[in-house]
């Protein structure tokens, strides 16, 4: 397991990504790939994959890759906006996500992610988010 993947696996324990059972395959500057195996915790009461589980995977992939892609001097980030278009579902098996940096600016980053069913290869959701890059205050100038 590469260092970044191991680091993020350890950090998510006891937090939402850990409870969702998110697994990371690759995390690097400008890119992340992760997955989860569908379990009861990922389903809505109607038995279908819950939208929040899909968004949780996509948003976390974008967030972890954002950390790996912060510009020099940045102290972190926060999500300013996110959007998801759901165009399919999965009822069993694995769900995978690939997140890619679209814009890596000094104050913002824009990320796109695609979530797919591993069993069928069909797209479940298209996701986009804007991350606001956080910097230490510079004081009075």
Tens-digit pLDDT profile for residues 110-136:
999 999 999 999 999 999 999 999 998
Dist CA 95 CA 127 (whole Å): 14
Helix (H, G, I), strand (E, B) or coil at 135: strand
Nearest alpha-carbon partner for 114 in 70, 65, 54: 54
pLDDT per residue as tens digits for the range 42-94:
999 999 999 999 999 999 999 999 999 999 999 999 999 999 999 999 999 99
Q: Domain ranges in the chain?
A: 3-135
Dist CA 6 CA 66 (whole Å): 16
Helix (H, G, I), strand (E, B) or coil at 25: strand
**Which CATH code, of 3.30.70.360, 3.10.129.10, 3.10.20.30, 3.40.50.1950, is assigned to 3-135?**
3.10.129.10
Dist CA 141 CA 127 (whole Å): 39
pTM: 0.94
Q: Report the 10 Å Cβ neighbour count for 18.
A: 13
Contact 114, 95 (CB under 8 A): no
- For residue 16, the surrounding DSSP H or E stretch is helix 16-19
């Amino acid at each position: 397991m590469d260092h970044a993947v191991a680091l993020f696996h350890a950090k998510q324990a006891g937090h939402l990504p850990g409870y969702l059972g998110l697994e990371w395959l690759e995390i690097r500057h400008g890119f992340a790939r992760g997955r989860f195996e569908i379990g009861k915790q990922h389903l809505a009461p109607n038995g279908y994959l819950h939208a929040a589980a899909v968004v949780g995977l996509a948003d976390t992939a974008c967030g972890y890759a954002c950390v790996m892609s912060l510009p020099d001097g940045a102290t972190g980030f926060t999500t300013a906006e996110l959007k998801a278009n759901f165009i399919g579902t999965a009822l069993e098996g694995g769900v995978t996500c690939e997140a890619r940096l679209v814009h890596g600016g000094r104050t913002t980053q824009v990320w796109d992610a695609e979530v797919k069913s591993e069993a069928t290869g069909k797209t479940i959701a298209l996701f986009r988010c804007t991350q606001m890059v956080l910097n230490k205050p510079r004081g009075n100038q």
